[in-house]
Amino acid sequence: MVELEDIIIEGSHKNFFTPSVNFNATTGICELSGESFLEDTVEFYDNLIEWLETYTEKIKKPIAFIIKLTYFNTSTSRCLLDVLNVIKDYEEDDGDVVVNWHYDENDTDMEEDIEDYVIDTGLKINLIAL
């Protein structure tokens, strides 16, 4: 059995905004919340992508990917696409995947961004209005 450490990062709002991350290798529940406006966006998300790739290649249990981002910048947007593509690849490999995206129902820009991700990835994303 492959050991995979959970990723737990407490979000912060210092010079930049770091999202909270809770990726649980035991339950397969992966949550990303808060705001994402980072100095080292690619490095930050590469670690999450590597974790997801290991999980989908070695653990092969269901994934519930929960996004509760209230704001993200353009560089985060590109990284989120990469994350969602890993999840889509897993789904195409017969992986059990659920993606729930919680958003403010008054935030039409966020809703449009989510719809673009659905189009770009072909992944079913459940929109959950708050």
27, part of any domain: yes
Write out the residue range of the structural domain in which residue 121 sits.
7-129
- Quote the number of domains for the chain: 1
- Say if residues 66 and 31 touch (Cβ distance below 8 Å): yes
60, part of any domain: yes
1, part of any domain: no
Its pTM stands at 0.94
What CATH number should be reported for the domain holding residue 33? 3.30.750
Please name the residue that has the structure tokens 């994303």. 125
113, part of any domain: yes
83, part of any domain: yes
Backbone phi, then psi, for 22, in 5-degree steps? -140, 95
**79 burial level (CB within 10 Å; 0-12, 13-18, 19+):** buried
User: Residue 43: which H helix or E strand, with range?
Assistant: helix 41-54
Q: pLDDT, tens digit, for every residue of 14-62? A: 878 999 999 999 999 999 999 999 989 999 999 999 999 999 999 999 9
2, part of any domain: no
